Amino acid sequence: MQYIIGNWKMNGLRDEGLALAGALATHMTSEKPEGREVVLCPPATLIPLLAAAVFGSGIRTGGQDCHAAEKGAYTGDISAAMLQDMACEYVIVGHSERREHHGETSEQICEKARAALKHKLTPVVCVGEALAEREAGKAEEWVKEQVRASVPPDAAPADFIVAYEPIWAIGSGKTATTEDIAAMHRMIREAVAAHCTCPGEAVRIVYGGSVKPDNASEILKTQGVDGVLVGGASLEAESFWEIVTS
Ligand code: PGA
């Protein structure tokens, strides 16, 4: 199974979001791509509308973040229970934009992943190095530490996904080479297996960072890649669908 996850980030008003979801649901219903799990993570405002628009198509819905707490005085936040209540099955946690702009730490992300698991959501736990770590030859060490601190050690591999997203590749048009992706996915698989004491083959790892229709097929064929997390190219139905069917 390859996971094709669209992260709309802070994009999409009602009409365009509905048009995009509707076009993808039509493709999904008529083409039923084999071996593909398609997940859309729209902004929170669109989740219920989108869940209704894709209902019955096989497309899954996810959130872009959740709070670690069950409920309470956390203005502006959204809980895992709320996402579950709106028919979500996935939630992205620890995206580098949350780590950077909201100061989220790996320890907080681990708690968010725990909240997601409690509410039967599959957390997509994001890790990835900045250019400075890569240039200093410290990318593997950095990512390994993020994996150790962000993935709940008692989680079963069937219950979560790790997304490897080198920060320098996000929205930049630069992608990691397939050799680098394969090496990093191998290292992440070993790190999760050791940390969660589970078989490495069972760990699902997707790649993200400037995935486009013209590089998706090569990336999806790369050793150890179980799917892609797509930002910019998920905002246009035909380009996202090309990735789904790559
Ligand atoms: P991008 O974003 O595809 O626009 O590079 C990926 C992501 O941030 O998840």
The finding on whether 210 has its CB within 6 A of some atom of ligand 1 is yes
The finding on whether 93 has its CB within 6 A of some atom of ligand 1 is no
**Cβ-Cβ contacts under 8 Å for 71 (sequence gap 6 or more):** 79, 81
CA-CA-CA-CA torsion for 210, 214, 215, 217, nearest 10 degrees? 130
Catalytic residue status for 165:
yes
Q: What atom of ligand 1 comes closest to residue 97's alpha carbon?
A: 8
Candidates 27, 95, 119, 195; catalytic one:
95
The finding on whether 62 has its CB within 6 A of some atom of ligand 1 is no
- How high is the pLDDT of residue 116? 98
How open is the CA angle 126-27-83, to the nearest 5 degrees? 40
* Average pLDDT per 10 consecutive residues for the chain, totaling 246 residues: 98 98 98 97 98 98 98 98 98 98 98 98 98 95 97 96 96 92 97 94 96 98 98 98 98
The finding on whether 176 has its CB within 6 A of some atom of ligand 1 is no
- How high is the pLDDT of residue 184? 97
- How high is the pLDDT of residue 104? 98
- CA–centroid distance, 227 to ligand 1, in Å, is 13
- How high is the pLDDT of residue 175? 86
Candidates 129, 165, 185, 195; catalytic one:
165
Give the predicted TM-score (pTM) of the model: 0.98
* 40 phi/psi in degrees, rounded to 5: -115, 130
